[in-house]
Amino acid sequence: MSERNRPTVRLLAAAVVAGSVAVLATGCSFVQQQTGDAWSVTYEVRVDQPSGAALTDVRVEGAERRGEAPEVHRLDAQETGSSDGEGSRWEHDAIVLAEQRASVRATPGAGATATCRILLDGKREIASETSTRPGDAVRCSADTPAFD
């Protein structure tokens, strides 16, 4: 091989190696999403106002269905539904792989405070936070635990 072609061959070999690594990493991620341990996560936001209270800038993190890639979903404006005597709440379910981040964010209307919670399988709370002032956004975030 001539001295002149060596840099080109090295560059080509480096590109092939980098491409192979990228393909393998993407494939592993896809397999993990399909077969990895995953939690059913319920995001809950409670507002100290009756049913129909507005929530804006609503975002949740996770996958909508098993096997989909996790991402932050911007749900924009939402309304609270059920009322339980202490205000009203909004809920959203997602799938989050074990040991991955789960998060929710929402902003209540002016004059309202909100509390967010992240629940595993609709029961086990792994995060909770309450907005400090009326109208302020509330954020909850936690890494889901490993399966036992």
Identify whether the C-beta of residue 43 lies closer than 8 Å to the C-beta of residue 118.
yes
**Residue 105 contacts by C-beta under 8 Å, 6 or more apart in sequence?**
57, 58, 59, 60, 116, 137, 138, 139, 140
**In residues, how long is the chain?**
148
Element (H, E) at 148: none
pLDDT score recorded for residue 35:
55
In DSSP notation, 44-103 reads EEEESS-TT-EEEEEEEEEBSSTTSPPEEEEEEEEE---B-SS-EEEEEEEEEETTSEEE
Q: Angle at the Cα of 147 (from 61 to 98), degrees rounded to 5? A: 20
Per the model's pLDDT, the better-predicted residue between 55 and 16 turns out to be: 55
pLDDT score recorded for residue 11:
62
pLDDT(41) > 50: yes
- Closest residue by Cα to residue 87 from 55, 114, 121, 124: 114
Give the pLDDT mean for 1-18: 62
pLDDT(44) > 90: yes
Identify whether the C-beta of residue 118 lies closer than 8 Å to the C-beta of residue 136.
no
pLDDT(107) > 90: yes
Instruction: Name the residue type at position 87.
Output: G
pLDDT(20) > 70: no
Read off the pLDDT band of 134 (50, 70, 90): very high
pLDDT score recorded for residue 73:
93
Give the pLDDT mean for 1-17: 62
pLDDT score recorded for residue 102:
97
How far is the first Cα of the chain from the last one, in angstroms, to the nearest whole number? Answer: 57
Q: For all residues of the chain together, what is the average pLDDT?
A: 84
